Every structure is written in C-alpha cells, then in structure tokens.
Chains A and B, each alone.
Chain A
C-alpha cells in the first residue's frame, strides 16, 4: 500500500516530504496540498481552545475515494499531514495518533540539534530511519 508523509511549516512551506512508494508522488503532493487547507480550517476553528496533545491530532481530515488524510499540528503550528491508503483498513485511529506522536518526538529531537536551522529541509538520517520504519509498519 502506499502512503505519504509531509511536514509543513506554518507558512505552508514543506519541511519534509516522504512517499512510499515513490511513484504517484505527484498525486500525493496534490492531495496534501489541498488537505493543508483543511488543516488550516481546523486550526482556526479551534481558536481559543487549549492546545492540548489530544487536540494536536486533527484526525481524519477528509477521506477521498482512495486515500485517507490525517492531520496533526504541533504547538508551533508545524503541520504533519499523513496520507494513507484507504485499503489499509487495519490502521486505527490510535495507531495514527501514536505515529504522529512519534513523529512529533522525532521532530523535537531534530529541533534540539543546534546544527538545524528551523525552516530548513529536514535531512536527518535518524528521522528518515524512523519514518521509514513507521511506513513499513503500515504497509
């Protein structure tokens, strides 16, 4: 099955893009880009709501005929968008949440790296490894 993971900055500038498998990447790009609007919508809807761990997870943004898109936003408004195959029915919400949590932790670790300038593309090998293993799990 296929899936993609995007990390996007608040200005909707991509930090990290990962698709498995790599074909149909363009379709993923398009899907994620449109889903960013949905994410923004949800964020603004939250408004004054407490930015809590649970609320960071935006849930299923919208299901297309082929894919399900999940969103997650961090305290610093960095958005994580994950696209998974609809055929992957084994994926439950909790799993998605845990995956986002792991992503968030890894992202935090990257931020701790003084050699990383916030806003740069993420080239961390550890992050790649983690994302790879996560995507393998899903497939």
Chain B
C-alpha cells in the first residue's frame, strides 16, 4: 500500500480508532469485530465498504495492519465526502474531513468526528468525549470541568458518597475525568474550546442516563441529571466558541435518542481515546494535597519512602479486597522496590479512591499517575487498551472537593523531580567512588612517595596539569637545594602553608605515583586541588609554610596506610601539603630560582634531622621557618602569632585562613568528595600564581633572610635569635603534634566510614544482577 500522509488531527484520530479496534494489542486489527462495526458506523453502503477494504489491502492479509487501517479510515473519509474511491485520492485530496462514523454506539466517535471536522486542529475537543457508560462518572467529570458544577456535584456527591467512600479518602479522584485532558492538552492552545466542545455532550449523557442507567448506581442516576443540567448550563456560559456549541448540541441531540445503552466497547474506546489526549486519572491539586498529608502521617519526610508494611496497613483500612490492593500496589510501585515514594503513594491512593468509587482498576498505570520524569502529554492510545474498568462499574461520582480540574502540569514537574530523585536514589552514591579512588591513589602515591623517597615522586613525573608542573618541579628540585637556605627563606612563606602544601603535595603525589593519576577524571581527584579550604592562596605563604608542613607531614605520615579513602586523603594532603609547602618554602628560601625546583625531600630530611638532633643553628633557622610554616598550617593561633612575630612580615593573613580551612577540609571527608578536590585544584591554580609571587617575594625575603644564616655564625647576635627560634619551634612542635593527632582521628573516622560503605556495597551486591 502506498503511504498515506495524514494531518495531525487525522493522525491522532486514526490512532485512537486503531487502538480502539486493536483489542488484543497485537497491532493488527481483524477484519471483523470492531473494525466491521466501525465501518458500518461510517454509514456507507456495504459495497463501498468492501471496496475500501479491498483498496487498503486488508482482504489480502485478512487483517488490518496499522497502515492499512489508516488507509481504510482515510478512504472512509473520502467516501463520506462523496469523492470517488481511488487510491490516488488518498494523498491528493487535501483538507479531507475526518471520517465520520455515525452509529448509536459510536456516538462518541461521531462527536469526535464532528469535533474534529469542525476543529481539526484541536484534538483536545476530541478528547472531550466522556465514556457514556458510567453516566455518573461523566457527570462527575462534567462537574469537574466547571467550577460551579463541581461544587454542586461535590455537594450532591458527598451526600451520596458516604457509603462508597472510605473514611480516609476524603478527596476522591475528580481527576479521572476526561476534562482534565482538555486542560492538559496543548493543542490549539484553547482549552475553553474543548471544554465547550465537551459541554454539549453532557446533555445527551444526562438524557441518556435515565435511560441507560440500568447499570449505574441509582443514587447517581438520580442525582446526576440535575447537576448535569446545571453543569451544562454553567458550562455553556463559559465556552467561547459558540459555533462548536451549536454544532455539538445538534449532533449530540441526534445521537442521544439513538444512543443505546452504553456499550463497553465505546466506553472503552472513549476511555482510550480520552486517555490518549487527556488523562482521566489525573490528580487534582486538592487531592494531591490530601494524599501528601496522608503521606506525611506515615512518613514525615516527603522525599522518603513508605515501607511496604506501613503502606499495606494504611491501604487495608480502605477495606478493599486484598487482591485489588495487591493489584493497586503492582501498578503504583513503579520502581518495584517494595516501598512507596510520594508519587507512588499518591498514585496508589488515587487508585484506591477510584476503586472505592467504582472505577475499575486499569491494567496499566495511567500515565498521569506515573512518577515520571518527563511529563508525557501525548500518551499513546494503545496504552489503555486493556482497561475494562470504567464500564460496568457502578456510576458513582467521587465526591470531588476540588472545584476545578485545571491542568496540573505544574504538579508533574514537582512529582517528576521528586520521583526522579527517589528513582535515582541508588546511583547517587556512586559518584563518590571515582573521586575516592583517586584520592586513594593520590594518597597512596603520597604516602608511598613520602615514605620511600619524598623526592622521587617529585622528580619522577611531571604533573598532569601544566600548571602544576611549576609547582611540582619546584617541589621536585627541592632536594637539590640546601635545606638551610630553604629554611631561611621559609620564613617568608608563613602564609597558607597548607594551601601550598596541598598543592605541592598533590603535585608530588601526582608526579610520583603514576601516569594513571593524571589520566583519570580530571576534576576531582586531581592532586592539584591541594588546598581548597583557603579561598585566597598565597603561593609565597604556602611555599614558606612548606617546610613546616613538611615536618608535620613527616610526623603524620608513618601512620597513614596506603589506600586511603578520600577523607583521610584530604587529611593526608594537608599533611603532605604542609610537607610540600615546607619543601617549597625551603626551596624559595634557598634561592629564588631554585625554589621551584627544590623537592621537599630535602627539607624533609632536614626536618627529621632537626627533630631528631635537636637545635642546630642552621636548623634553628629552618625551624624558624618550618615552625612558622607549620604553625601557619596548623589550625591554631600560635601559628599566626608566630608568623606575626616573624620579622619578615610575610603575608600572614592567609595563613590563619588557610589553617582553619585546612582543618575544616580534613573534617569534611566524604561530604562532597569532588568539591574539596576541585577547590584544591582551584587553590592550586591560585597557588601557582601565588607561588610565583612567593618566589619573587622569597627572593626578596631570601635576601633578607640571607642575613640570618649568617646569624648563627655570629654567636653573639644569634643567641637570642636562637633561643627565640627554639621557643618558636617548640611551640610549633606542639601545634604540629596536635594537628597530627587530629588528622589521625580524621583518618580513623574516614576509614570507618569506608568500611561501613564497603559492607553496604557487599550487601547490595547479590541483588545487582537480579
């Protein structure tokens, strides 16, 4: 068959009809059955129908495929418009009105067609048709459409709904009405029109109802006509399109009399059709609020879950049979996790309310009830094919409290968000792992390098980040420089020891460990992000602090075990940073040019020597610088005070800021692992320019400090200086010791967290592939 081009309205209409006829959801429609009814409804002579069927090829196949069906429908339209049946006419005839199927059973169809033909680009009107079978429902729907009507209906409904409504369900679903569809439907942009279009349907329904209310609840039938009339009246006032109204009443009236008892098929079709454009299961605002409140009574956290047992108890109160509750659960537990999120709970509640009010449960969860991430407005028609629910159930209008049924699209984004969040609960934690791994790697490198050969990592490898190269190189070559020189100039680097240390540490570990370090995800695990805490990084300070940090790092290092979770790593970096900073400082102190190249290693050993041997003249100077650096690094005021005491008048401001930040950093182990790292990266970047500044500054300071090394030589002057430096160093020692203990504690905490997470992972693993 040649292809058929359909307009949008045609497309929708045909799709609806196809799904209506496609009772078995097999995507093909048997030649008999509903298709036959449909074609008969087209009020075409039988031979024309046969001709159509031949043309579309169904007779050959014995069934209508989707394309054949569409072609057939189009041919019906062609025939109805009086044009000769030709295959060519399929595509050549433009502005073909939609096929009209006029039969009592197909009232809705005809209405739809009339609507379509009159308002071809407003499919919403098409969806305005409401399943006649449950007149009560329809009435309810109508009421929902118009505010006044709803209220009226609500009052009447409430009067009669005492029995069917379970106590907890105060806000029955007014939503399961096709009216919502109108509002929802984006087409035409004119919601009023569909509403208007649907209005005319009311009277026929109300008229029909008395006649066909055999299956409907007597209560409803009794109540329905008056409110309907009112509804209709009020409704009629609003619609702007009088033309539609005029047309509809006429067509509707005709069919009213012809209308037989609502057939399940048409009801189904309408439901289906309606569901395709508008969802009768939509939850009104009031209802939703009610559901949310109920949710809160069980689970105060709106983002949390209701466990299955609690939900079971709650819904058992509705006195529905367990089997139905089980089915409702199946429908509403979207992610099949045995717990209900807010969205799922609302959907379940909505279904329970609907069931209590006589609506049959759908086979599949209606789209509007799904906790979707995306607001699907155009649901496929075929979705509701399995629904048998609406028809046959006693027509009861759920006592709707909601005065209006506006489109609740805005609620869906919220739902979607929450559902999205809840649905994505599980994957969230995964994010930590890579950064953690990175941190671990870095930690490993750092620890390994520090332990084994502090200089080697520095020397081994250029850091991944070009910016770091400078730092790392500076760090690397520290070893070559004399420590004393470095130390002397380290005084100037009291500021931000931590930051620099972090940066340096990162670089060291980075370079030292392996190429892999650089390869993996750049942002988080970059060792460059040495010190994220300090917002402002003073490279000079960091450098100057390096020696002191190095010492601290040395102290803290031995306890560190290689695979460190990030927190510990974050703690570690601090140590490292300090170490690196020390080293850097040492560099800078030694010589401006050499500063960037001095590996911490040299300072390291010097520090160790210092710590071991005691006070040396040279070491004193170093100690001074180190202590300054260390103190700067430590989250203590002594460092700042020491720094202040420094004659160099380095930029100490940053140091205290850095120190607390570094402390803070260590204490936020797993919170946002990438963030600290990134900050460290940033800080590292900042560090680099600062480092440059530092180097320059160092140069200046080095010159100043250069005089100091000479101090030991001149005993007389040095004594006081030495004593002062001894004092400072001692203070620095204590501060560093405190820092060390704190970091150790952090390390332990982080390790414990890691172990607990691993245990959880192990517990979850068996279910991973089920």
A residues contacting B by CB (< 8 A) are 53, 104-105, 108-110, 112-116, 123-126, 129
Which of B307, B330, B769 makes the CB contact (< 8 A) with A113? B330
Q: Please judge, given known A-B contacts A114-B338, A115-B322, whether A126 and B330 are in contact too, CB under 8 Å.
A: yes
Which of B325, B336, B363, B770 makes the CB contact (< 8 A) with A115? B325
Q: Which residues of B lie under 8 Å from residue A126 when comparing CB positions?
A: 327, 330-331
CB closest chain-A residue, reference B323: A123
Q: Is the CB of A129 within 8 A of B336?
A: no
Q: Is the CB of B326 within 8 A of A112?
A: no
A sample of 22 inter-chain contacts (CB < 8 A) reads: A53-B769, A53-B770, A104-B770, A105-B770, A108-B770, A109-B330, A109-B333, A112-B308, A112-B338, A113-B308, A113-B326, A113-B333, A114-B308, A114-B309, A114-B338, A115-B315, A115-B322, A115-B326, A115-B329, A125-B327, A125-B330, A126-B331
The smallest C-beta distance from A131 to any residue of chain B, in angstroms, reads 14
Q: CA separation between A112 and B331, bound complex, in Å?
A: 12
Which of A53, A108, A124 makes the CB contact (< 8 A) with B330? A124
Q: Is the CB of B326 within 8 A of A109?
A: no
List residues 309-366 of chain B with CB under 8 A from any CB of chain A: 309, 311-312, 315, 322-323, 325-327, 329-331, 333, 336-338, 363
Extra 12 A-B pairs, beta carbons < 8 Å, given A112-B333, A113-B329: A104-B770, A108-B336, A110-B330, A112-B336, A114-B308, A114-B329, A115-B312, A115-B315, A115-B326, A125-B327, A126-B330, A126-B331
Q: Which residues of B lie under 8 Å from residue A105 when comparing CB positions?
A: 770
CB closest chain-B residue, reference A114: B308
Q: Which residues of B lie under 8 Å from residue A112 when comparing CB positions?
A: 308, 333, 336-338
Which of B311, B312, B327 makes the CB contact (< 8 A) with A124? B327
Q: Which residues of A lie under 8 Å from residue B769 when comparing CB positions?
A: 53
CB closest chain-B residue, reference A115: B326
Q: Is the CB of B308 within 8 A of A124?
A: no
Q: Which residues of B lie under 8 Å from residue A53 when comparing CB positions?
A: 769-770
Q: Please judge, given known A-B contacts A105-B770, A108-B770, A109-B336, whether A114 and B327 are in contact too, CB under 8 Å.
A: no
- The CB with the most chain B CB atoms within 10 A, among A110, A113, A114, A129, is that of A114
Query: Which 6 residue pairs across A and B have the least CB separation, nearest first?
Result: A114-B308, A112-B338, A114-B312, A115-B326, A109-B336, A113-B329
Q: CA separation between A115 and B327, bound complex, in Å?
A: 9
Q: Which residues of B lie under 8 Å from residue A124 when comparing CB positions?
A: 326-327, 330
List residues 530-571 of chain B with CB under 8 A from any CB of chain A: none
Q: Which residues of B lie under 8 Å from residue A123 when comparing CB positions?
A: 323, 326
Q: CA separation between A121 and B453, bound complex, in Å?
A: 69
CB closest chain-A residue, reference B320: A115
Q: CA separation between A105 and B767, bound complex, in Å?
A: 11
The smallest C-beta distance from A31 to any residue of chain B, in angstroms, reads 28
Q: Which residues of B lie under 8 Å from residue A113 when comparing CB positions?
A: 308, 326, 329-330, 333, 338
Q: Which residues of B lie under 8 Å from residue A109 when comparing CB positions?
A: 330, 333, 336
Q: Is the CB of B363 within 8 A of A129?
A: yes
List residues 268-310 of chain B with CB under 8 A from any CB of chain A: 307-309
Q: Which residues of A lie under 8 Å from residue B329 when comparing CB positions?
A: 113-115
Q: CA separation between A110 and B331, bound complex, in Å?
A: 11
The smallest C-beta distance from A75 to any residue of chain B, in angstroms, reads 8
Q: Which residues of A lie under 8 Å from residue B323 when comparing CB positions?
A: 123
Q: Which residues of A lie under 8 Å from residue B308 when comparing CB positions?
A: 112-114
Q: Which residues of B lie under 8 Å from residue A114 when comparing CB positions?
A: 307-309, 311-312, 329, 338
Q: CA separation between A53 and B363, bound complex, in Å?
A: 31
Q: CA separation between A124 and B330, bound complex, in Å?
A: 8
Q: Which residues of B lie under 8 Å from residue A125 when comparing CB positions?
A: 327, 330, 363
Q: CA separation between A53 and B386, bound complex, in Å?
A: 33
Q: Which residues of A lie under 8 Å from residue B330 when comparing CB positions?
A: 109-110, 113, 124-126
